[in-house]
Chains A and B, each alone.
Chain A
Amino acid sequence: MTINEIQDQIVEEFSVFNDWMDRYSYLIELGNGLQVMDEKYKVDQNLIKSCQSRVWVNADLADGKIVFTADSDAIITKGIIALLIRVLSNQTPKDIMNANLYFIDKIGLKENLSPTRANGLVGMVKQMRDYAIAYNSILANQ
């Protein structure tokens, strides 16, 4: 599926929730279900430190696509990470670079990704894009 198809799917899923409690319960569920990040990747080099929650993100290239793994010490942050990975992982560097992440806003979680919210997620999205730019130039030089 394309990035936008996945985003639309997530927006559809969240549309059944009427209040914040349901949305956050689902995010917590997603956070708990996030694929465990290999401990070897949870190093300072992959750490996006912020004053609220810590986020680690790693990216590997496989068959021209980027596979992201990530983790956080806060469960709501992990829930958003699960969504970001679902949208951006297994996509080409170019598609990730060009992605417009509208789903966060549409599912009513914009506050989690506002630049002033120091929870590491803004840093994570930037990091994911930076990985895409880096891998894109590696692929271009091959």
Chain B
Amino acid sequence: MLDIQKIRSDFPILSTTVCGKPLVYLDNGATAQKPNVVIDTINRLHTRQNANIHRGVHYLSEACTEEYENARRSVVTFINANSTREIVFTAGTTAAINLVASSFGDEFVQEGNEIIVTIMEHHSNFVPWQALCRRKNARLRVVDLTGDGDLDLEQFQEFIGEKTRLITVAQTSNVLGTVNPVSDIIKLAHSYNIPVLVDGAQSVVHSKIDMQALDCDFFTFSGHKFYGPTGIGVLYAKEKWLDVMPPYQYGGDMVATVTVEDTTFADLPLKFEAGTANYIGAIGLGAAIGYLEGLGMENIQQYEQELLQLAHKLADETAGMTVYGRTKRKAGILSFLLDGIHHYDTGMILDKMGIAVRTGHLCAEPLMTYMGVTGLVRASFGLYNTKEEVQALFDGIKKVQQMLG
């Protein structure tokens, strides 16, 4: 059992007011707020221990390097990877996916090949592949949905073949909340020797992730959605892929020796970490991992499911409200529209009541077009949200309907 009031006191921003009302922060899918332990870590590093990593012989550089590499070890443990060689720090999920699209794509995707994506992907896991296919004259195959917001698994079976070079899929949809059966997709792909990238941006915060059990080839997530700092993220990749992929960017810290004639590259994972790493972000992410491990991912998942179930119950009781994404396996995301009311108007009025939600196409335009809407309102729950806040959302929705209905 989580002590939610105790948890809330760990997040200073939650006690602020917006438009004179207590903040009800339900935009966790966009970014999560930060606990004191993360804020204090960043502050401590800037005030007492800042020095560039991996190159200084002096005390601060050594200390900072050690914390950076400890953060990498925290990631290994947290997602149950094999070793630190599989963990590349990036600027975020987008940067991680672009790294794979560029390095893996340049090496292994040729004209006439195919990449399989899905219609529910965030733009971050769609546009890089579309661009790769353009560059290579390859074909992007897009898997559709079934009625309730589940992926059409038969279509994977239909699309997969000797031309396929990669399957890339979100573990959890940022719009529908659908938790995709990625294990099944990975098993299918591996039976054809095809690698799979799993976009974990929305899943890693809601449940325990295990690379050994999942067996995906690539896994990506962002620090800032994970109660950690912005500008830091993780690419997990199996060593066998990182070994054969060329570097993504070139510069300092990623080289072994450089001569006028030639350059050899550093060992994994530094081969993919050109330039000064965001070490403060990475160490902050390590602090966030420590915080979440202290609470227990299973506890977080269970509590968020209670919030989601309450939200669905209240939605069912609300006339004139359509929920998008009604599959059984969902994470704490409720996307909806109110009859005859534009999503922007809904978001604006909710904002005036101190309730922060996301509105618009939610960086998933192909999915919006597929569903025949111009945008949605999305409430996304985090571990510090309360049942009272879910109720406040629905009180707000009633007010919106009164004003605009």
Smallest CB gap from A51: residue in B:
B360
Q: Are B403 and A28 in contact (CB under 8 A)?
A: yes
Q: Are B345 and A74 in contact (CB under 8 A)?
A: yes
CA A25 – CA B361 in complex, angstroms?
26
Q: Are B361 and A53 in contact (CB under 8 A)?
A: no
Smallest CB gap from B348: residue in A:
A76
Q: Are A54 and B374 in contact (CB under 8 A)?
A: yes
Interface extent on A, as a size class?
10 to 19
Task: Sample 7 A-B pairs with CB under 8 A, ordered by A number.
Answer: A24-B352, A28-B404, A53-B342, A74-B343, A75-B342, A76-B345, A77-B344
Smallest CB gap from A25: residue in B:
B403
Tally of chain B residues near chain A (CB < 8 A): 17
B118 at the interface (CB under 8 A from A): no
Nearest first, the 8 A-B pairs at minimum CB distance are A74-B342, A74-B344, A51-B360, A53-B344, A20-B352, A52-B344, A52-B360, A76-B345
A43 at the interface (CB under 8 A from B): no
B269 at the interface (CB under 8 A from A): no
B19 at the interface (CB under 8 A from A): yes
Q: Please list the residues of chain B having a beta carbon within 8 angstroms of any beta carbon in chain A.
A: 19, 341-345, 347-349, 352, 359-361, 374-375, 403-404
Q: Scan A29-65; emit 1 where CB is below 8 A from any B CB, else 0.
A: 0000000000000000000000111100000000000
CA A15 – CA B161 in complex, angstroms?
67
CB-defined contacts of A76 to chain B, threshold 8 Å: 344-345, 348-349
Q: Are A51 and B349 in contact (CB under 8 A)?
A: no
Output the residue of B345, B359, B374, B375 with the most chain A CB within 10 A. Answer: B345
Additional A-B contacts beyond A21-B352, A54-B374 (17; CB < 8 A): A20-B19, A20-B352, A24-B349, A24-B403, A28-B404, A51-B360, A51-B361, A52-B344, A52-B359, A53-B344, A73-B374, A75-B342, A75-B345, A75-B404, A76-B345, A77-B345, A119-B344
A118 at the interface (CB under 8 A from B): yes
CB-defined contacts of A73 to chain B, threshold 8 Å: 342, 374
CA A74 – CA B341 in complex, angstroms?
8
